[in-house]
Structure 1
Amino acid sequence: MNTTTGSARLGPSGLYSFLKWIPVVALIILGLSLFSNTIIDTDIWWHLSAGRYIFQTHTIPHADIFTYPSAGHEWIDLHWLFQVILYGVHSAWGSYGISILFILIFSATFLTLWGACRPVKYRLAAFLLFWLALMACSSRFLPRPEAFTYLMISLYVLLLHGFERGHCKQAVFLLVPLQVVWTNMQGLFILGPFLIFAFLFPMVVMPFGARVLKREWSRPQPDSVKRLAAVFLGSIVACLINPYGIQGFLFPFTLFTRAGGLENMFARSIAELQPPFSGYNLTTPLKYFGVFLALSAAALVLDFKNLKVSHIIIFAGTAYLALNARRNVPIFVIAFLPLAVFHAGNLLERVEQGWNGKFRSVMKAIGVACAILLALVSAFYAFSVLTNRYYISDKRAERFGFGFKEQMFPNGSFVFLKEKEVRGPLFNNVDIGGFFIWKMYPDEKAFIDARLEANSAEVFAEYFQAMSDPQAFEALSQKYGFNAIVLSHGSGDALFLMPDLYSSPRWTLVYLDPLAAVFARNRPENATLIAENRVNVALNHIPFLSPNDTLNASSSKMLQGILDTVAAVPPSDAEAQNRFALGLLLLVMGQPERAIAYFKAGLELMPSSPEGHYNLGLAYDRMGQTEMAVESYRKSLELDTEHTFAHVNLGRIYDERGLKKEAEKEYRLAIKYGGEMPVPLFNLGALSYEGGDRDAARNYWQRALKADPSFTPAREALNQLESPSPSSH
Structure 2
Amino acid sequence: MKKGKVLTKETLTKIAKYLLIISVFLLVFNLASFTLRNDDFFHYLRTGQYVLEIKAIPHEDIFSHTAFGRPWINHGWLSGVTFYSLYHLAGLKSLILFKALVASLSFFILFRIMRQKKVNIYPVRTPFNGSRPSEASNGVYLALGIILLAAIVVYPRLRLRPLIFSFLFLSLFYYVLHSFQHRKRNLLFFLPLLMIPWANLHAGFLAGFIIILIFCFAESLKLGVKKYFNRDWGSILSGKEIRLLLVVTLVVILTSLVNTYGYQALSYSFQLTGKEIFMERVSEWRPIDFSRIFYPYWIMFGLTVLALGLSHRKIDFTDLTLFLVATLLSLSSRRHIELFVIFTSPILAKHLNIILKKRMTFRPKAWLFPASLTILILIIAWTAIRLPSQIKIKEGLFPDKAVDFIEENELSGNLFNPSGWGGYLIWRLYPECRVFIDGRLLVYGERIYEEYGAIFRGEPPWEELLNRYKVDIALVDYNRKHSRPNLRDRLYESQDWRLIYWDDESMLYIKNLPQNQALIDRFGYRFLNPDGERMDVGKIEEVIGELKRKLKEEPSSFLSHHLLGIAYGEKEEFTLAIGEFQKALRFNPGEAAIHSNLAVTYFKKGLLSEAIREFREALHLNPDSAETHFNLAEVYLKANMPERAKAEFKKALKIKPEMQEAMFELLKEER
Distance in 1, Cα, partners of 2:509 & 2:613: 36
Aligned counterpart for 1:274 among listed residues 277, 282, 286: 286
CA RMSD of aligned residues (A): 4.0
Aligned counterpart for 1:97 among listed residues 71, 85, 94: 94
Superposition pairs of residues 664-675 of structure 1, within 5 angstroms: none
Instruction: Give the drift of 1:152.
Output: 0.6
Partner of 1:425, secondary structure, is strand
Distance in 2, Cα, partners of 1:512 & 1:500: 16
Partner of 2:189, secondary structure, is helix
- Give yes or no for the alignment of 1:8 onto 2:25: no
Cα pair 1:583 1:596 within 8 Å, conserved = no
1:275-323 alpha-carbon deviations (Å, 9 max, x no partner): 33254xx33xx22222122112222332212212222222222223322
1:392-451 alpha-carbon deviations (Å, 9 max, x no partner): xxxxxxx94224345643233233323434342321121211122122222321111111
The equivalent of 1:438 in structure 2 is 427
Aligned counterpart for 2:246 among listed residues 226, 229, 246: 229
Structure whose CA Rg is larger: 2
Aligned counterpart for 1:650 among listed residues 629, 635, 642: 629
Superposition pairs of residues 615-694 of structure 1, within 5 angstroms: 615-620=593-598, 625=603, 627=608, 630-636=612-618, 643-646=622-625, 649-651=628-630, 653-654=632-633, 662=644, 680-683=654-657, 686=660
1:4-61 alpha-carbon deviations (Å, 9 max, x no partner): 98x53765x5665565455434323322222222322211211111112222222222
The equivalent of 1:525 in structure 2 is 515
Cα pair 2:39 2:421 within 8 Å, conserved = yes
Q: Structure 1 stretch 338-347 or stretch 192-201: which is displaced more?
A: 338-347
Cα pair 1:583 1:595 within 8 Å, conserved = no
Partner of 1:184, secondary structure, is helix
Cα pair 1:63 1:73 within 8 Å, conserved = yes
- Give yes or no for the alignment of 1:451 onto 2:440: yes
Instruction: Give the drift of 1:274.
Output: 3.2
CA distance 1:322–1:624, change in 2 (3 Å): farther
Partner of 1:435, secondary structure, is helix
- Specify the code of the residue in structure 2 equivalent to 1:78: H
The equivalent of 2:269 in structure 1 is 252
- Give yes or no for the alignment of 1:289 onto 2:287: no
Instruction: Give the drift of 1:183.
Output: 1.0
Distance in 2, Cα, partners of 1:458 & 1:651: 42
Distance in 1, Cα, partners of 2:389 & 2:319: 36
- Give yes or no for the alignment of 1:220 onto 2:237: yes
TM-score w.r.t. length of structure 2 = 0.80
The equivalent of 1:48 in structure 2 is 45
CA distance 1:274–1:665, change in 2 (3 Å): farther
Instruction: Give the drift of 1:64.
Output: 1.6
CA distance 1:189–1:4, change in 2 (3 Å): same
Instruction: Give the drift of 1:166.
Output: 1.1
Distance in 2, Cα, partners of 1:545 & 1:192: 57
Distance in 1, Cα, partners of 2:454 & 2:499: 22
Q: Structure 1 stretch 270-279 or stretch 510-519: which is displaced more?
A: 270-279
Distance in 1, Cα, partners of 2:101 & 2:477: 32
1:579-618 alpha-carbon deviations (Å, 9 max, x no partner): 4455678899999889976653353356xx4x33x22233
Distance in 1, Cα, partners of 2:174 & 2:551: 50
Partner of 1:240, secondary structure, is coil
Partner of 2:433, secondary structure, is coil
Q: Structure 1 stretch 538-547 or stretch 76-85: which is displaced more?
A: 538-547
Superposition pairs of residues 24-35 of structure 1, within 5 angstroms: 24-35=21-32
Aligned counterpart for 2:492 among listed residues 485, 490, 502: 502
- Specify the code of the residue in structure 2 equivalent to 1:52: Q
Superposition pairs of residues 52-63 of structure 1, within 5 angstroms: 52-63=49-60
Superposition pairs of residues 140-155 of structure 1, within 5 angstroms: 140-155=157-172
Superposition pairs of residues 157-306 of structure 1, within 5 angstroms: 157-169=174-186, 171-210=187-226, 215-216=231-232, 220-257=237-274, 265-277=277-289, 279=291, 282-283=292-293, 286-306=294-314
1:681-727 alpha-carbon deviations (Å, 9 max, x no partner): 4429959x99xxxxxxxxxxxxxxxxxxxxxxxxxxxxxxxxxxxxx
- Give yes or no for the alignment of 1:351 onto 2:359: yes
Instruction: Give the drift of 1:510.
Output: 0.6
Instruction: Give the drift of 1:645.
Output: 2.6
Instruction: Give the drift of 1:342.
Output: 1.9
Partner of 2:444, secondary structure, is coil
Q: Structure 1 stretch 426-435 or stretch 25-34: which is displaced more?
A: 25-34
TM-score w.r.t. length of structure 1 = 0.74
Distance in 1, Cα, partners of 2:114 & 2:567: 57
Distance in 1, Cα, partners of 2:89 & 2:553: 26
The equivalent of 1:427 in structure 2 is 416
Partner of 1:456, secondary structure, is helix
Partner of 1:517, secondary structure, is strand
- Give yes or no for the alignment of 1:474 onto 2:473: no
Distance in 1, Cα, partners of 2:105 & 2:553: 37
CA distance 1:160–1:9, change in 2 (3 Å): closer
Q: List alignment gaps of at least 5 residues for structure 2.
A: 122-139, 529-542, 665-671
Aligned counterpart for 1:337 among listed residues 345, 348, 372: 345
1:359-416 alpha-carbon deviations (Å, 9 max, x no partner): x4xx5489999x979997996999599559xxxxxxxxxx942243456432332333
- Give yes or no for the alignment of 1:601 onto 2:617: no
The equivalent of 1:551 in structure 2 is none
Instruction: Give the drift of 1:82.
Output: 0.8
Distance in 1, Cα, partners of 2:373 & 2:263: 48
Cα pair 2:63 2:426 within 8 Å, conserved = yes
Distance in 2, Cα, partners of 1:590 & 1:434: 39
Partner of 2:624, secondary structure, is helix
Cα pair 1:513 1:546 within 8 Å, conserved = no
Cα pair 2:415 2:474 within 8 Å, conserved = yes
Partner of 1:463, secondary structure, is helix
Distance in 2, Cα, partners of 1:158 & 1:343: 18
Cα pair 2:472 2:511 within 8 Å, conserved = yes
- Specify the code of the residue in structure 1 equivalent to 2:657: N
Distance in 1, Cα, partners of 2:317 & 2:374: 35
Superposition pairs of residues 535-546 of structure 1, within 5 angstroms: 535=525, 537=528, 538=543, 539-540=545-546, 541=548
- Specify the code of the residue in structure 2 equivalent to 1:207: L
Aligned counterpart for 2:449 among listed residues 453, 460, 467: 460
CA distance 1:23–1:509, change in 2 (3 Å): same
Distance in 2, Cα, partners of 1:591 & 1:266: 44
Instruction: Give the drift of 1:497.
Output: 3.6
Cα pair 1:633 1:646 within 8 Å, conserved = no
Q: Structure 1 stretch 660-669 or stretch 400-409: which is displaced more?
A: 660-669
Distance in 2, Cα, partners of 1:545 & 1:33: 39
Instruction: Give the drift of 1:657.
Output: 6.9
